[in-house]
Each structure stands twice: as structure tokens, then as C-alpha cells.
Amino acid sequence: MERPEVLVVGAGPAGSAAAIHLARAGVSVLLVDRAHFPRDKPCGGGLTGRALRHAPCDVSPVVEHTVDRFVLRLGYGRHFSRSSENPLVLMTQRRRLDAHLAEQAVVAGAEFRDGMRVESVAEDGDRVSALVGGTPVSALYVVGADGANGVVARTVGTDEGIVRGVALEGNVSWGALPPDAFRRTAWVELGVVPGGYGWVFPKGDHANLGVGGWSAEGPRLREHLGRLARTHGLDPATMHDVRGHRLPMRRLGTACAHGRVLLVGDAAGLVDPPSGDGIYEAFASARLAAAAIVAGKPEEYEPALASALDRHASASWTAKRVADRYPRACFWAARAPGVFDAVAGLLRGDLSHPGEAKAIARPSLRALSRLSRLAPPTP
């Protein structure tokens, strides 16, 4: 029987960040992941400025590209571009980012074991028992970072409060896609996938193309991805590493902890509804979970998480409803004075809520908010 103070299940950004914070506080941590590292994960790989403000360590060694310009296009037709004087998103690959964070957890003092499957988690009085790679483990706390379908999330029972989207992405070498149009630029395609969007993100030696939308779009995602590729002059057959993944989005008020079991990142459904990004939420939730554990007050985690994320999450659900149902209105509003500056401020972390936008942007943002109230519910 192994007896670490904290067992962290899952070594993605949320799990490794939690392990880093805990180990730095002098807590004994066992960090495990069922995959052998380095391993890749389907993800656009964008690190926003607000995510970097909560990063547990320097991530510059794994940054491959800086984005300070966006091209927004409606229905593969009319488009416009906007630029920022400061970086908006830093591009990486999850294969590199996750390995780097796990390494930093070890540097901080955590023990990391990859290739270890967690088969069960159960609260047992003042401890939590688990079976890790066939070995019994008893910990004071368990941090679940193994995704919305993971064994720890099932222990807490969050399923009914999670809305799931789907995404499909692939990569293409710069030889097949001319790099000049994408240098420091992210393309976002509105109105091309029900309940989502398409994207082209620049990386070091390739570009990442993807589409995401409502769960019902799963059977059609390959068709959507093929159209995205052809619109950018690519033969879909030239794409490689094509993979799909689910996007767990938490409804406000959904439980993310039970007793001594705390969920972070995707395991808690903390994916941003309109963008599908979850790295900011992963880092923020990891820090708060670690703080509650270090204080010996796990009951403080959920209120702290709600205080930190729910106001922004409420605005994100509003944005998703209007973007899903009225992409044309979003496209035109994005061209209105001050709106891109507001979006850039949110990405950089200079603004925590659209209500903090400059006065010139507020009429357009209020119009979108009113329009969202007419939108049918998310499927």
C-alpha cells in the first residue's frame, strides 16, 4: 500500500499544474497518467495571455509560434483581419507542452509515473483509496485530471451537468500550405459548422486545421474538415495525424468536488464554450485545488472556483449561444468599433469580463447579449 498525501490522476496541463503547486508547497505527490510520455493529445495548442498568467512555470521552451493577427471569415466568403500590437496567443503542441509540465512537476518534487492506469477511486473515511497500475494507493486527497470521462470524474458524478461538443483536427506541412498567409495569423471560420467553427493555426513546421461543433455533428466532422482543407487550397488527403476529441463544457453550478476528491480542467468540464479552449481553466482550477488542499480545506475549492470562473463562464455561454445560432450577427459585430480590442483584451487577460470593455464596444456587445436570449437551447 502506497500512501502519498495527494494522488493526481492525469498529467495534462491541469494535473501537472496541480502537482507543481502541491509539490512546491511541500506536499508529497504521486502524479500518474495512463499514457506513456511524450504523447500527443488532440488540441489546437493555443496558449492565451490569460492562460499564461496562471501558468505554473515558464512555458517558453515549448512555444513554436506567436499569433498577433486574426482573420475572421463568414461561411467561407467575406472576411476581414485585425491585428494587435502585443501577442494574443502562443502556439505549441500538446505533446511538447504536457511533457514539459510533467518534467517541471518532477523538478518541483512530485513523483511521476506514466503508463499507469487508475482502475478505481473510492473515498474511505479520511482517505481516498485507488488502484494504480494494479498497486493499492491510499491518499489524503485525489485530484482528478483525467478528463470528463475519466474514472475520477465518474466518482464525483458530474455527467448530467456536462455539455459535450466534438472536434476533429489534423496537421499539414508548410510545403503543402503556403506559410505567408498564416505567419503570426490565426484563421477563424464562422458559420461553417453547426454549433462551432473551423480554424487554421500556425505551428513551428506545420499548420493545424480543425473543426468543432455540437455533439450531433460528430458523423459529419470529416466532411467539414475536408471542406475546410479544400477552401484553403489543400487536398484533404495531405493531412496527417487526423484525430477527434470531445469538448466537455460545464453548466454553472455543476459539482466539481466530493469530499476529498477534487476535479480540475477537462475532468470538471472546464472548457470555454465558444472557443473550445481549456488551458486557462486548467491552470486556474489546478492552482485553486492545490490551495484548498494545502490549507486542509477541500470544501473551499468549489466556492473559490465559482468566484474565479463563473462570471466569465456565464458570459462565455452567452457568446456561444449567439455565435452558434447567429454567426452572421457575430461577424458583423466583430467589425464594430472597439469589439476586437475587447476580444483581444479577454485573450490577453487584460479584461476578465466583456462588461469591462471600453464604452465604444458596449453597444455592439449588448446587442449580441440581447440576441442570445432569443437563441434556442444548446442541443
Pairing of strands 261-263, 206-214: unpaired
- Rounded-to-integer distance, Cα 337 and Cα 198, Å: 24
pLDDT of residue 179: 80
- Rounded-to-integer distance, Cα 16 and Cα 37, Å: 13
Distances (CA, A) of 224 to 189, 192, 193, 337: 11, 8, 7, 32
Percent of the chain with pLDDT over 70: 99
Under the banding of pLDDT at 50, 70 and 90, the label for residue 335 is very high
| Residue 21, phi-psi category: left (phi > 0), alpha (psi -120 to 50), beta (remainder) | alpha
Under the banding of pLDDT at 50, 70 and 90, the label for residue 157 is confident
pLDDT of residue 310: 95
- Rounded-to-integer distance, Cα 283 and Cα 98, Å: 12
Given a cut of 90, whether residue 262 has pLDDT beyond it is yes
108-142 pLDDT, tens digit each: 999 999 999 999 999 988 999 999 999 999 999 99
Given a cut of 90, whether residue 166 has pLDDT beyond it is yes
pLDDT of residue 177: 86
| 192 SS3 class | coil
Between 159 and 315, the more confident residue is 315
- The mean pLDDT value for 275-284 works out to 95
Between 130 and 156, the more confident residue is 130
Q: Where in the sequence of the chain do the CATH 3.30.9.10 domains occur? A: 65-90+164-248
**In this structure, which topology does domain 65-90+164-248 adopt according to CATH?**
D-Amino Acid Oxidase; Chain A, domain 2 (3.30.9)
pLDDT of residue 180: 82
Across the chain, mean pLDDT equals: 93
Question: What CATH number is given for 6-58+93-161+250-312 in this structure?
Answer: 3.50.50.60
Give the single-character DSSP code of 270. B
Element (H, E) at 152: helix 151-156
Pairing of strands 206-214, 197-202: antiparallel
| Residue 79, phi-psi category: left (phi > 0), alpha (psi -120 to 50), beta (remainder) | beta
pLDDT of residue 45: 85
Sorted by sequence, the CB contacts under 8 Å of residue 304 that are 6+ apart come out as 288, 291, 292
Nearest CA among 215, 237, 218, 217 for reference residue 226: 237
Give the single-character DSSP code of 153. H
Is the separation of the CB atoms in 269 and 42 below 8 Å? no
49-65 pLDDT, tens digit each: 999 999 999 999 999 99
Q: Where in the sequence of the chain do the CATH 3.50.50.60 domains occur? A: 6-58+93-161+250-312
19-51 pLDDT, tens digit each: 999 999 999 999 999 999 999 887 778 999 999
pLDDT of residue 379: 65
Between 148 and 173, the more confident residue is 173
Strands (E), 53-193: 65-67, 69-74, 79-83, 89-91, 111-114, 118-124, 127-132, 135-139, 141-144, 162-173, 185-190
- The mean pLDDT value for 268-282 works out to 94
